[in-house]
Chain A
């Protein structure tokens, strides 16, 4: 965005944790496609006498997320009631956390065209989701299956200056919660949602603007990008007129990114937060933290950096491998115990030819990932040419045939008998005296002789070996 204004963005991201039961009761948390109001109980509705009891697993997942985002942990924590009156919240309050969130003061490093950038995490806290309301024909339909499902809220500092940074952050965050098995973060199912806090300032200014526009309930990264574009235009036009955009909450009109002013929402004081009297205080012991830390897998950025450093894999290839757990686990299984010269080649073949086969061809049940390793080894060991290896891979992938057998059937094995190669090279040299003369003056002209020899060898020889031999023989 080329403009006189600079973006100031902070994000609140909600992620549904992957637990079996709800946050404060034993109702099944997997409400997807369930009959409306079939996963509810007196605790969900806040009926008299109902007692909420926190889900231990959900608390652990929240701590795990906080640790992954480099947060400090509030070892003395508690739940609070956030009071507001809306039909998707049958209790009249949401159980959330106010002044002692589970995690605080963390960060995520993201990658942009300009390099790495650190985005501050203000806080991470545990709360519960609300019910689903569908508005149609002047009525509102309410289904409370979702109400009470554990929800982790991750609040960032206003550290974003471009839309690209926001996108990179959201994708990295989604990747992290998936790596940790905290959430499946499927946006189409509403498992990950965004709230945007955005304002603009003149380039060169260093203080935060005097206003902030909040846009709630953004269901996907692509809509979030559109909202940023829309708000950038809207807010710059107001600023161009010498006015200040109103501090307000805006809602989405549709998926186009257009926003409209919503009636003034409550201020923080209007939520009348107070400690949840039905849930005793929580003390997170150092032991519990260490136990959760021990359960953690290597995170995406660390993994990528390690691939680049340890295996010499280029950054784009590494990024493709760390996309998700299934992709990197397959890779790490393939390279187990192999020497680095194989690993860097396997990374290229895996993300290149193999990914393209996965996307375009049907995989034969007989194909094993170890076959890709076998093929790449043959290439590195100069037993088959690259071009032929591609064909072998496709045959193995689509027909399940063993690579060695394909190589044998097709006669792809490279002539590694240097005597046989030498014989052919000598023959080519003898038959092309003019070319030999040229090549002796200009080594680049030797490629003609190499080409001739490769043709005689039907391509089944290592071109570099042939070239070396040609150069050696003509220099005599």
Chain B
């Protein structure tokens, strides 16, 4: 099964990720993504009949008790963007 990735597919994915992609780039990425997908499609060759869905680990029910511990210090949280914070909040351009 060969997946055909169109320019529109790329633009849709880009818009979901809020990334600007122009036509030229979209063309290039469409080919690259198609190549990646066809590589992964090798997995389709494996016969999985009768094999149940399985987690990547045999572990089950790994829980924490409900105990609150110390978090990061606010100054450490803001360390990398001091100039873009206000009263402890991170500041970004308006998303409204």
> Could you list which residues of chain A lie within 8 angstroms of chain B, going by C-beta atoms?
19-21, 26-30, 35-42, 53-59, 78, 84-87, 133-135, 138-144, 266, 270, 275, 277, 279-283
- Contacts A20-B66, A275-B55, A279-B62 given; does A140 touch B72 at CB 8 Å: no
Query: Would you call B68 and A283 a contact (CB within 8 A)?
Result: no
Query: Would you call B59 and A21 a contact (CB within 8 A)?
Result: no
The main secondary structure of chain B at its interface with chain A is loop
Q: Which of B57, B66, B91 contacts A19 (CB 8 A)?
A: B66
Q: Which residues of A contact B20 (CB under 8 A)?
A: none
User: For the complex, what is the distance from the CA of A39 to the CA of B70, rounded to whole Å?
Assistant: 8
Q: Which residues of B contact A86 (CB under 8 A)?
A: 95
List residues of B (56-96) whose CB comes within 8 Å of A's CBs. 56-57, 59-69, 71-74, 77-78, 86-96
Q: Which residues of B contact A36 (CB under 8 A)?
A: 74, 87-89
- Contacts A37-B77, A84-B16, A280-B59 given; does A26 touch B67 at CB 8 Å: yes
Task: Report A139 CB to chain B, min CB distance, Å.
Answer: 5
Q: Which residues of B contact A56 (CB under 8 A)?
A: 63-66
Query: Would you call A55 and B63 a contact (CB within 8 A)?
Result: yes
User: For the complex, what is the distance from the CA of A141 to the CA of B74, rounded to whole Å?
Assistant: 15
Q: Which residues of B contact A140 (CB under 8 A)?
A: 91-96
Residue of A with least CB distance to B96? A135
Task: Report A217 CB to chain B, min CB distance, Å.
Answer: 13
Q: Which residues of B contact A26 (CB under 8 A)?
A: 64, 67-69
User: For the complex, what is the distance from the CA of A144 to the CA of B85, rounded to whole Å?
Assistant: 13
Q: Which residues of A contact B69 (CB under 8 A)?
A: 21, 26-27
Q: Which of B66, B88, B90 contacts A21 (CB 8 A)?
A: B66
**Cβ of B18 under 8 Å from chain A:** yes
Query: Would you call B64 and A55 a contact (CB within 8 A)?
Result: yes
Q: Which residues of A contact B64 (CB under 8 A)?
A: 21, 26, 53-56
Task: Report A329 CB to chain B, min CB distance, Å.
Answer: 25
**Cβ of B1 under 8 Å from chain A:** no
Q: Would you list 22 pairs from A and B whose C-beta atoms are within 8 A, ordered by A residue?
A: A20-B68, A26-B68, A29-B68, A37-B88, A38-B74, A39-B71, A42-B72, A56-B64, A56-B65, A58-B66, A59-B63, A135-B95, A138-B94, A139-B92, A140-B92, A141-B86, A141-B90, A141-B91, A142-B92, A143-B88, A280-B55, A280-B61
User: For the complex, what is the distance from the CA of A143 to the CA of B85, rounded to whole Å?
Assistant: 10
For B16, B71, B74, B90, which residue has the most chain A Cβ atoms within 10 angstroms?
A: B71
Query: Would you call B65 and A57 a contact (CB within 8 A)?
Result: yes
Taking residues whose C-beta sits less than 8 angstroms from the other chain, chain B's interface range is: 20 to 34
**Cβ of B36 under 8 Å from chain A:** no
**Cβ of B17 under 8 Å from chain A:** yes
> Could you list which residues of chain B lie within 8 angstroms of chain A, going by C-beta atoms?
16-18, 55-57, 59-69, 71-74, 77-78, 86-96
- Interchain residue pairs A-B with the least CB separation, the first 4: A36-B88, A57-B66, A56-B63, A141-B89
Apart from A20-B66, A20-B68, A28-B71: 7 A-B pairs, beta carbons within 8 A: A21-B66, A38-B77, A53-B62, A54-B63, A85-B18, A280-B60, A282-B61
Q: Which residues of A contact B65 (CB under 8 A)?
A: 56-57
The main secondary structure of chain A at its interface with chain B is loop
Q: Which residues of B contact A275 (CB under 8 A)?
A: 55
User: For the complex, what is the distance from the CA of A27 to the CA of B74, rounded to whole Å?
Assistant: 13
Q: Which of A20, A41, A142, A283 contacts B61 (CB 8 A)?
A: A283
Query: Would you call A27 and B66 a contact (CB within 8 A)?
Result: no
Residue of A with least CB distance to B56? A277
Residue of B with least CB distance to A272? B16
User: For the complex, what is the distance from the CA of A40 to the CA of B73, rounded to whole Å?
Assistant: 8
Q: Which residues of B contact A133 (CB under 8 A)?
A: 95
Query: Would you call A35 and B74 a contact (CB within 8 A)?
Result: yes
- Contacts A21-B66, A36-B74, A141-B86 given; does A283 touch B60 at CB 8 Å: yes
Q: Which residues of B contact A27 (CB under 8 A)?
A: 68-69, 71
Query: Would you call B55 and A20 a contact (CB within 8 A)?
Result: no
Q: Which residues of A contact B73 (CB under 8 A)?
A: 38
Residue of A with least CB distance to B90? A142
User: For the complex, what is the distance from the CA of A196 to the CA of B25, rounded to whole Å?
Assistant: 40
Query: Would you call B61 and A38 a contact (CB within 8 A)?
Result: no
Q: Which residues of B contact A283 (CB under 8 A)?
A: 60-61
User: For the complex, what is the distance from the CA of A55 to the CA of B66, rounded to whole Å?
Assistant: 6
Q: Which residues of B contact A30 (CB under 8 A)?
A: 68
Q: Which residues of A contact B95 (CB under 8 A)?
A: 86-87, 133, 135, 140
Q: Which residues of B contact A270 (CB under 8 A)?
A: 16
Query: Would you call A134 and B89 a contact (CB within 8 A)?
Result: yes
Query: Would you call A38 and B55 a contact (CB within 8 A)?
Result: no
